Amino acid sequence: MLALTENVTEIVKQLTSEVPEISALRIAAEPDGQGLSVSPADQAAAEDQVIEQDGATVYVDQTASALLDDKVLDGTVDAEGNIQFALGEKA
């Protein structure tokens, strides 16, 4: 299962507290299978894996879940407020 860093849980908690219609982030495989997208979500899709960690929720679609099983999601916010995500291998 995808693990979340403390940075990501804080980013998700801040987003969901500032925008009430967002309950989580959702990670989905792109239709071409060549990438992943991260977007705010109000609910999980029927076959999403739901990851709840330290008060943050991330939905992962079925295809992305298989790709991310051994990964860790990290994130940062730059000076302009842009969020950047990065994947790493679990230790």
Distance, CA of 53 to CA of 9 (rounded, Å): 7
Domain 3-89 grouped into CATH 2.60.300.12: yes
Q: How far apart are the first and last CA of the chain?
A: 13
Please report, rounded to a whole number, the percentage of residues in the chain having pLDDT higher than 90.
82
Kindly report, residue by residue over 57-78, the tens digit of the pLDDT: 999 999 999 889 999 999 999 9
Taking 90 as the threshold, does the pLDDT of residue 32 lie above it? no
34 secondary structure, DSSP code: S
Map out the domains of the chain as residue ranges. 3-89
